[in-house]
Structure 1
Amino acid sequence: MKVIFSNITNNTFARSAAVGLAKAKLMAKYYTTIAVFEGNFWDKLSSITKLKEIQRRRFDPILEPYVKTRPWREIGRHIASKAKISSLTKHETGFFNVDSVSKELDQRVAKNLEKALDTGVLGVYSYEDMALYSFREAKKHGIKCLYDLPIGYWREAHRLLKIEQSAWPDWASTLTGFNDSKNKLAKKDEELELADAIFVASTFTANSLKAYPGKLAPIHIVPYGFPPVIDKPRDYKKDDSRKLRLLFVGGLSQRKGIANLFKAVEDLDEELELTIVGYKASQECKSLDQALKKHNWIPTLPHDKVLELMQQNDVLVFPSLFEGFGLVMTEAMSQGTPVITTDRTAGPDIMTHNKDGWLIEAGSTKALREQIEYLIAHPEEIEAAGKAAIETAKNWTWDDYGRKLTEVIENTLSS
């Protein structure tokens, strides 16, 4: 019993899922674009200063026997992005856009499925926008289609975010999730229709699939894991003269509730400092530009520096209005930084309100303001929540995620 796995990058959840399959002896092949292993071509190339970011594609050594790469279109995408040749990476139409990279990899998986039957392959595991061709081919050969939806379902996203367009018209340009063509949206629906099992990381994502206009395969909720916790004691001391330090990390879009956040902290300059880390989702939003001038804005930081910044702040604020999970929350909690988040993230799955974090109603500026004001008045509760967040993080690691996901996959293939 084996699984073919595919993902165009080496993000944390794909890597952890693949390692879990490999450890359980269920991995047949892992198709990707670029894979760095000790001493290979990509490892040597990444030693060049300007190409150092290739190191982000480093894979766990256990996966080396299984990995098959298709790098050239992905390389073209990065070169075009660096050179700022936007026509080549333009959404859906550019030769090197992310959809074309995904399509090419997906087609390669499909091409190799028939002969994979001889090696005991019973399933193909792939992700949204990366699965259509391999799933179509898998159906011809009785191979089960295992579908991973990292972000909530598009129909529900459109419904909820149209409300934001009306409520915050000055921020509408930051809501870029409406740019997909009808053809691309139809492909997303076909992937779901072909799936024999659907894997999501939060209850919110699972609930968003209720908007699908048809019958779906069983949905399995397996929350993503926490990174390693802080390896030194966290200092929570706060004297009366120091302001509450709030941190936001993420794309600067109203999908993340950024307008609600700026409104919630209005006129609280004497009580708090707000630091924002993230790229602008739009260069055409004057309201965003004006708000950023009032606070500490850092467009980008290396990941290790983000973790350090989390340790220097009191609370992470993540008021997202549509989020498949929200990895920034688990990162903050692992650093002892408790989180204020909404019921449209994985918050309800990974934290307990008033224990290791705080949950508020999505889209409610009033609820967000009240929670911030409460923490200004009760700073001692931040330390208790931060220590509890570390304990929560210890109890569900990325290894735990990989093992649990593998267990569910194995049960699915056996049924």
Structure 2
Amino acid sequence: MTDVSLVGYADIGSQPGQDFTELANALFDERILSQAYCRGIEGTELPEERVTTPIPFGRRFPRLINGIGRHVYDIQNRYYSEYMFDYYSAKRISKTDDIQLHFSPGYPKTLEKGKEHSDQVIVRTATEYEREKKKRLAPEYKKYTINSYPIPKKRIKRREETINKADKVIAISKFVKESLINGGVPENKIDLAPFGVNSDDYPTKTEDIDKFTVLFIGSININKGVPYLLDAWQKNGWEYDNEAQLILGGRISPELEEIIEEKNINNLKTPGYVEPRNYYQNASVFCFPSLSEGFGKVILEAMASGLPVISTEYTGARDVMTDGEEGYIVETRDSDVIANKLQYLRDNPEERKQMGDKALQTAKENPWDKHTNKIIDIISDDNNSK
């Protein structure tokens, strides 16, 4: 029987750590989880002896660093937190497992320890290969006169180092897999396991909505393509339309604060970080025009709420959507196309409902255990082929 140690900078049992939690539970249910190394514990049904928080005092130090980062936007809080997690995880690993599974790249010390104590190290990655992402976003940073790429070079180096040294890499979308190949990772080293969603966790949208409501959930920054959504809204002439509203739910970056102020869209709402379920069920359309997104769980969450989705080819949309059925998959940086799709969905409520119904059906066909079972299959196949 395969023994797997799972390593990830996440809080098991939390909403942001849902995918880590689901994977840990699935490995345990298969009786192959040896140990889960995580940042913190918010709640878990796993036996206490199967979960380790390597950092002294658990997640207190990382939370302190992250708290500072909320007030100092460009602080490299994630780098320092991950470095700390990697340092202490490497110290805590002592037992021999068949496979060490990294929930995300960026832990080179832990990987080296895994090479010593495990037969195989597998790294799951949920973002575009960093060098490819940096090239893709360079025009945006030039356009908006942003001086530096937000992810420090040393963090990029650590992430790429673990991907390149891993025995196997699991990509969570076709887009991520393509970026890895373009970045020089051998294709035969990469497996694909797209995300899923627990549809029952998301109430379907309210039938009677007073206004045509377009929703975006996520970090409100350049990378997410939000300026193109704002441009599309204005191209449709909706900025003073009392029968429509645009909601951006999430933390706003400094450069987007300036852009939003300049746009002066009267019916734009920015409630900050929100519980998305409350917003999905009161929206008409979900729009996620990201320029680079490993997957975008919000796409499936919105689909599970019965919303048609407009997203780009550089997300996980291609893994779970067919253009024109659950919504639309558009090219990045094209506010004209976004505007046209939004106008069409507003003018055709019956087709909008049909797309929303199809989105819900598709979401139900992609539960979380489809993702975790695929990872278990990859682990089992690799271990049996040794």
> What SS does the corresponding residue of 1:100 show, helix, strand or coil?
helix
- Which amino acid in structure 2 is aligned with residue 99 of structure 1? Y
- Measured against aligned partners, the alpha-carbon deviations of 1:181-205 in whole angstroms (never above 9, x if no partner) come to 3333222221111111111211011
Aligned to 2:29: 23
Aligned to 1:69: 53
Are positions 1:392 and 2:362 aligned together? yes
> What SS does the corresponding residue of 2:95 show, helix, strand or coil?
helix
Q: CA deviation at 1:262?
A: 0.5
Change (3 A) 1:134 1:217: farther
Does the aligned pair in 1 maintain the 2:214–2:286 contact within 8 Å? yes
Aligned to 2:384: 414
Instruction: Quote the Cα distance in structure 2 between the aligned partners of 1:249 and 1:232.
Output: 16
> What SS does the corresponding residue of 1:229 show, helix, strand or coil?
helix
Are positions 1:350 and 2:320 aligned together? yes
Are positions 1:257 and 2:225 aligned together? yes
Aligned to 1:33: 39
Instruction: Quote the Cα distance in structure 1 between the aligned partners of 2:334 and 2:341.
Output: 11
> What SS does the corresponding residue of 1:116 show, helix, strand or coil?
coil
Aligned to 1:134: 110
> What SS does the corresponding residue of 1:312 show, helix, strand or coil?
coil
Q: CA deviation at 1:322?
A: 0.3
Instruction: Quote the Cα distance in structure 1 between the aligned partners of 2:117 and 2:40.
Output: 28
Structure 1 stretch 181-190 or stretch 315-324: which is displaced more? 181-190
TM-score by length of structure 2 reads 0.88
Are positions 1:116 and 2:87 aligned together? no
Instruction: Quote the Cα distance in structure 2 between the aligned partners of 1:282 and 1:227.
Output: 34
Are positions 1:298 and 2:270 aligned together? yes
Are positions 1:155 and 2:131 aligned together? yes
Instruction: Quote the Cα distance in structure 2 between the aligned partners of 1:231 and 1:317.
Output: 17
- Measured against aligned partners, the alpha-carbon deviations of 1:92-145 in whole angstroms (never above 9, x if no partner) come to 4xxxx33333233323333344x412xxx1111114454211211222345311
TM-score by length of structure 1 reads 0.82
Change (3 A) 1:233 1:329: closer
- Structure 2, unaligned stretches of length 5 or more? 12-16
Does the aligned pair in 2 maintain the 1:128–1:149 contact within 8 Å? yes
Aligned to 1:335: 305
Aligned to 1:221: 192
Aligned residues: 374
- Structure 1, unaligned stretches of length 5 or more? 36-56
Alignment of 1:226-305 (within 5 A): 226-229=197-200, 234-237=205-208, 243-266=211-234, 267-269=237-239, 270=241, 272-282=244-254, 285-291=257-263, 294-303=266-275
Change (3 A) 1:399 1:232: same
Aligned to 1:14: 20
Instruction: Quote the Cα distance in structure 1 between the aligned partners of 2:70 and 2:211.
Output: 44
Does the aligned pair in 2 maintain the 1:316–1:332 contact within 8 Å? yes
Aligned to 1:58: 43
- Which amino acid in structure 1 is aligned with residue 309 of structure 2? V
Are positions 1:313 and 2:279 aligned together? no
- Measured against aligned partners, the alpha-carbon deviations of 1:291-329 in whole angstroms (never above 9, x if no partner) come to 3653332343442xx212111111011111100011111
Does the aligned pair in 2 maintain the 1:201–1:223 contact within 8 Å? yes
Are positions 1:195 and 2:166 aligned together? yes
Instruction: Quote the sequence identity (%).
Output: 22
Does the aligned pair in 1 maintain the 2:105–2:123 contact within 8 Å? no
- Measured against aligned partners, the alpha-carbon deviations of 1:213-272 in whole angstroms (never above 9, x if no partner) come to 45466211111111233776754357xxx6421111111112111110010110124363
